[in-house]
Structure 1
Amino acid sequence: MDDVDVVIIGAGFAGLGMATQLARRGRESFVVLERADGVGGTWRDNTYPGIACDIPAHLYSFSFRPPADWSARFPRGAEIRGYLEQIVVDERLADRIELNRELRDAVWDEPDARWVITAAAPDGRSATFRARTLVLAVGRLSEARIPDIDGLDTFPGQVVHTAGWDDAVAVAGARVGVVGTGASAVQLIPHLAEVAEDLVVFCRTAPYVVPRADRDYTDDERAAMLDPAVAAEVRDQLLVEADAAFRQRLGLHPDIDEIRARARDHLHGQVADAGLREQLTPDYEIGCKRILLSDDFYPALQRPNVVFEPSALTSVTESKATAHSGHTYDLDVLVMATGFEAARPPAASRITGRAGHRLSEHWSAGMTSYASTVVSGFPNMFVLDGPNAALGHNSAIYMIETQLDYVVGALEYMADNAVATLAVSAAAEEAYTREIDTRSESTVWLTGCDSWYVDPDSGRLTLLWPGTAASFRERNGTFDPAPYEPHPDEPGTGTPEEGEE
C-alpha cells in the first residue's frame, strides 16, 4: 500500500494541470492514476479523421505553460495531444503517473482522515493507495454513450464510436451510416463522404452551424506568438471575445438575433436545395445545443454518394438499418457519433464518502456541488470539470485553471492550519445549488430545448456554468474556508450559515 498526500484520477487536461501545479509546489507527494496506456484523455481517445478543437488554440491551453507553436487558429487533435504529452516531459511527471491503472473504488476512512483508493491493471493486478486528498479528473467526455437501438448487437458489420475510432475500420468503398450530427459528426462526415461508396447520415435533431473560419498561421505569426507576453495578450483578447457570446445564451437582443442570422445565412449560402435546407433548419432556439463550426459539413451532405436521413436510427435487422421515418438502408459500417455519458459519470459509482454513501447516490437527482469543485459528504475530495464547471461558449481549459487555483488554495489552507479534514457543509452546497438554478432559469439551456447539458431526470442544468468564464473565476477562483464544517483543530472555521452568504 502506497501512502501519498494526493491521488489524482485521470491524466487528461485537468489531471495533468493538477499534477503540474503540485509538482511546481513541491509540497505534496502525489500520484496520477490513468486507466489507459497513455496520457491525453479526450485527445488521446478521439482520433477520428478531422478531429480538432472548436476553441482557438491560444485559449484552449494553460496560461501557466509556455506558449505552444500552434499551426492554425483551431488546433488539430494530434497537436493537442502532443501539447499534453509535452507537459509530462517538461514538468517531469512521468514518474508520478501510473498508466493502465483503472479506478476500482475510493473509500473515505473517517477515523484516519484518508482516502483508500484501489486501482487495477489489465492483468488483474491491483494496487492500493492511501491519500489525504482525492482529485477526480475523469472529465465529462470519457464514457462513450451508445443509444438503445433495437438489434444493434446483431449487426454483422463493424460498429465504432467516434471516441474509439480505429483506422482499421473499413470505410473506404463501404456503405457507411453515421448516427448523430453533433460536434464530432460534423468534423468526421466530410472525410467519410470522400471515401465511402455510400454514406447515410442519421439526424434526429438538426444542428446550428456557423462558418469555422479556420486558417493556418503564418511563420511570422507563429514566431511572434511564442513570446509569452504576446501569447498572453492574444489569450486575454480571445477570452473577452468568447465571453461576449454569453449574452446570446441569455436570449438577449440583438445578440441572439445576430448569431441566428449568421447560422441561417451560412445554411442558405451553402445549401441551394430548398427541401434539404428545410430538413437542416433547427426547430429550437440557437445556443440551447452547442453551436457547431464547419465550412465543409453542408457541402458534404450534398455529394451524390451521401443521403441525409432527417430522423433517428431506430433498429437494425442484419445489415439493414431502419430510421424512424421508416426508410431502410443497407450498411457495412455504423459509426456512432452519439456523445458521452456526461450527466451521470460512471466513476461516481466507485466513490464512497461518509457513512458509506456513494457519490452516484448523492447525485441520483443530478450532479450538485459547492464552487463546482467540492461535494458535501465527501471530505478532502475535489472534482475537476464536474458539476456546472463547463461552458457552452468558451474554453473549458480556462475553467479548469480556475478550479486548480481553488484546489491549490484549499491544500495551502490545510497545510498552514494543520487541518486534517476539509468538508464542505450540506447547507453551503444547497445554497450554491439554488444559486445555480436561479442563474439558469433565463438561459436558453432551460428555455430553448432538451440537451445533454441538462440532467434527464431532474431537468436541472448540471453541466454548464450559467454565466461567463470571467464570472466563474470571480465566484470560484479563490478558496474560502467559511463554507466548510468546523473541526476541533481549527476553531476559527466559519459556520455553514456563513458559507451561504
Structure 2
Amino acid sequence: MTQRPFIRRALAESNLHALRLALLHATGDPALAAMKLELVPIRSGAAFEMTIAEEHHAELLRKAEEFVATEAATYVPRPLDENRVRSMMELALGQELTDEEFFVARTMPALEEFPVFSQWTRERPRRADDFRVVIIGAGLCGVAMGVQLEQLGISYVIYERRPDVGGTWAINTYPDARVDTASTTYEYSFVKNYPWSEQYARQPEVRRYIETVAKTYGVYDHIRFEHEVQSAEFDEQSATWSLRVADATGEIETVTSNFTVTATGLFSTPKKLDTDGIDDFTGEVLHTTEWTEQHSVEGKTAAIIGNGSTGVQLLARIAEDADQVYVFQRTPQWIAPREGYGEPVTEEMRWVLDNIPHYWNWARTTALKPADPRGTITPDPEWRAAGGHFSESNDKLRENLTQYIRTQVDDRPDLVERLIPDYTPAARRPVVDNKWYRSLTRDNVELVTDGITKFTDTGIVTADGTVRDVDLVLTAVGFEVTKWLWPIDFRGRGGVHIEDRWNLDGGPRAFQGLAIPEFPNMFVLYGPNAQPATGGGIGLGGLPAWMESWVGYIARVMIAVIEDDHHCAEVTDAAFWEYNNAVDDEASRLIWLDPAANPEKNYYVNEHGRLSTSTPLPGLDLATRFLSFARDDFIFTRIGSDTTTSEEQAPFVTVS
C-alpha cells in the first residue's frame, strides 16, 4: 500500500491545474471550479502557462489527498455530457469558448477513444472491399494512416525503405537525440497514458513507441520493410496508381492502388556537406543520420559542423568522450532552456498519472495550450517607431535569452560577442538547450566562427587561415526540407511530373499540405504548409495530434469516394489557391518574411522567398480546416462518367 507521505509528495509534484481539472471531472465539486488561475512565464518568456493561484494550493492538495483516501479506489469513470465537456474546457483554457473554438478544443483532452479520426457516415459499404491504399513510409504519419485505415477496414500496405519502423526516429540515432517538446504532447491522442520514462523522450524510446503502436493496432503486419518506391504514375482509364517498388535485392515489383499516401516526412533527405577538398580528407565524415552505436569519439579530436537542434543536442555527449571538440558555427542561434528537459518522469509523477482518474487527459490539455505566442511573431509598427526591435513581447524574449546566454557562459566576452544573434528571436526554428552553452566553456571545446574554406587530408581550414586537424567530422547541417517526395518519380493526370507542377507554382505547394491538383487520389503527409509554425492558442497541440488530423481529413475524402460510388477525388484549383493565398498573405505579415527581423533566410523559407515548410495560419483556423470537410473543394469522378462536384475544373478523360 502506498504510504501517505509519498502520496502527499506526489500530489505536490503534480501539475496543479491538471490536478484541479481531474478532481473536478471526477467529483463535480464546485469549489474546485471556483479556484483562480494565474499566468506564469515559461521557456524564458517565449510562452506562458496557466497554473492555480497560490492561495488555493493547500485546499486543492487537501481535496486531492481526501479523494485518494476515500474515493479513488472505487471510482468508476462516467462519460461527460456535451455541456460538462465545454465547461471543463473553458476552465482548462481560462476563457469562454465560441462554438468554433469548442469544436476544436474538445479534441485536446482525448476523452474519446479516437478523438480526431474519421468514421463511415453510415454502415461500411461493401464496395470498400475493392479499394486498396499504398502508404509510403512507416514513421509517425505512416503508422497513423495505417491505424485510421484499420478503423475503417480498408485494405492497405506500407512500403518502408528501411529495415525498421520509426521514420526520422529510426534514422537519427546520434548521441542524445530526443524530442524538443514534452513527451505528453509528442504522442497520439488514441494511445492513453503511455509510460514515458523521461519528460522529453530520447530517440530509442520514441522509436520504440511508434513500433509499439504499430504492433498494438495491427499496422505492423502490413509493413513491407526494405522496399523502396521508385515511381508512381496515375492511370486515368482505371483511376488507379501504378507504383514501381524495389526490394532489398533490387527486384522490381509493380503494384496498383486506388489511393496513394506519401508519408516520407520532412526530414528524410540529409544535406550533404559540399566543401572544397572534402574528398581528400582521410578522416571520417558522418552526417548525424549516419551515426550508429558502433561509432565512438573516445580519444579522438572531433569537429561538429552546425548548431541547429541536432548540433546542440549532441555536443555535450561528444565533449564528454572526445579529447578535443571544435564547434563550427556559421550563424548564432537563440537557444532556450525547457523546463524538465533531460529530466526523468519520477516515480511520483508516474503514480499521479496512474492513480488520479482523468489526470492524464487534463495534463495533456494544459500542456498543449501555453498562451498564444502570436504577439512574439507579429511586428508592432508603433513599438518599432518608439525604438523597439520588433514587438514588446519579442523584445522581452530577446532580453531574457540574452541574459540566459551570458549566465550559461559565465559572461565570457570571447563567447558572448559571438553567441548573441543579431536577428529577432523566433525568426528561425527554436532550439532547445542541451547543455550546449555550458559545453562551450569546457577546456576541450573550442567555438569556431570563421567560415570553413576547405578540407585538407588531415583537417579543416577556416577563412583566417587556421588549420585544425581532426579525426572525425560530424555534419549537423540538416535536411533537404524542400525536396518533398524526392527521389520518387511522381506523374499525375496527363503525365504531369510533380516537380514540373511545383516549379510553376513557386516551389512545393499543396492544399492544406495534403492534396495537389492534377494528382487525383494522392495525398502528401507532412506536406508543404501543413504543420503550424507556432504552438499555443486553441489548436490540436503536439505534432502527432496534427498528424492525426491530416490522416482523418484524408480518410474523409476516401469515405466520400467510396460511400458515394465514385472512383476518384482531385482537389480543385479554386480550393488549392484559396489555401495557398491565405498562407502567403498571412506569412507576409509575420516574422519569417520580415527583412528587418530575419535578414538571412532559413529552412522555413524556400529559394523563392516563400514560407513553405510550415503554415503561419492560427492554430484554430488550421485545426478547423482539418477537422471539417467541404465536398466542393474536390472533384469526385466515376470511371466512364463526367459527373463531378464542380464545374470550375474539367475532370480527367474517362472511358466507358
Bin for the TM-score computed over the shorter chain: over 0.9
Cα gap change, 1:324/1:232 in structure 2, threshold over 3 Å: closer, same or farther? farther
Contact kept, 8 Å, 2:264 with 2:485, in 1: the verdict is no
Once the two structures are superposed, residues 300-359 of structure 1 have per-residue CA deviations (whole angstroms, 9 ceiling, x without a partner) of 011111110113433111112012443321011000101001112252651111121111
Alignment of 1:19-418 (within 5 A): 19-26=146-153, 28-214=154-340, 215-226=343-354, 229-241=358-370, 244-251=372-379, 253-271=391-409, 272-345=411-484, 347=486, 349-364=488-503, 365-394=506-535, 395-418=542-565
- In the alignment, what sits opposite 1:16? 143
C-alpha separation between the residues in 2 aligned to 1:228 and 1:142? 39
C-alpha separation between the residues in 2 aligned to 1:401 and 1:250? 28
SS state at 2:574 partner: helix
SS state at 1:378 partner: coil
Contact kept, 8 Å, 2:230 with 2:487, in 1: the verdict is no
C-alpha separation between the residues in 2 aligned to 1:485 and 1:187? 46
Cα gap change, 1:50/1:371 in structure 2, threshold over 3 Å: closer, same or farther? same
SS state at 1:58 partner: helix
TM-score by length of 1: 0.94
Q: Which moved more, 1:444-453 or 1:348-357?
A: 348-357
Q: Which moved more, 1:174-183 or 1:230-239?
A: 230-239
Once the two structures are superposed, residues 266-298 of structure 1 have per-residue CA deviations (whole angstroms, 9 ceiling, x without a partner) of 101112211211100112111111121115100
CA apart distance, 1:403:
0.6
C-alpha separation between the residues in 1 aligned to 2:396 and 2:648? 44
Q: 2:601 aligns with which of 422, 426, 450?
A: 450
C-alpha separation between the residues in 1 aligned to 2:626 and 2:574? 17
Q: How many residues align?
A: 492
Contact kept, 8 Å, 2:135 with 2:261, in 1: the verdict is yes
C-alpha separation between the residues in 2 aligned to 1:70 and 1:425? 43
- In the alignment, what sits opposite 2:10? none
SS state at 1:430 partner: helix
2:578 corresponds to 1:431: yes
CA apart distance, 1:428:
2.3
C-alpha separation between the residues in 2 aligned to 1:357 and 1:348? 16
Once the two structures are superposed, residues 170-198 of structure 1 have per-residue CA deviations (whole angstroms, 9 ceiling, x without a partner) of 41111111110000110101111111111
Once the two structures are superposed, residues 92-115 of structure 1 have per-residue CA deviations (whole angstroms, 9 ceiling, x without a partner) of 222211000011111101110001
Contact kept, 8 Å, 2:561 with 2:636, in 1: the verdict is no
Structure 1: state its 5+ residue gaps: none
- In the alignment, what sits opposite 2:61? none
Structure 2: state its 5+ residue gaps: 1-129, 381-390, 536-541, 650-656
Contact kept, 8 Å, 1:202 with 1:323, in 2: the verdict is no
Once the two structures are superposed, residues 401-437 of structure 1 have per-residue CA deviations (whole angstroms, 9 ceiling, x without a partner) of 2211211111111111111110112232123211110
Contact kept, 8 Å, 1:160 with 1:335, in 2: the verdict is yes
- Whichever residue aligns with residue 219 of structure 1, its letter is E
SS state at 2:358 partner: helix
- Whichever residue aligns with residue 43 of structure 1, its letter is W
TM-score by length of 2: 0.72
Contact kept, 8 Å, 2:215 with 2:221, in 1: the verdict is no
Cα gap change, 1:8/1:55 in structure 2, threshold over 3 Å: closer, same or farther? same
Contact kept, 8 Å, 2:231 with 2:244, in 1: the verdict is yes
- In the alignment, what sits opposite 1:493? 645
Higher Cα radius of gyration: 2
Contact kept, 8 Å, 1:246 with 1:467, in 2: the verdict is no
C-alpha separation between the residues in 1 aligned to 2:543 and 2:466? 39
SS state at 1:314 partner: strand
Once the two structures are superposed, residues 118-142 of structure 1 have per-residue CA deviations (whole angstroms, 9 ceiling, x without a partner) of 1111211122221100001000011
SS state at 1:482 partner: helix
Identity %: 29
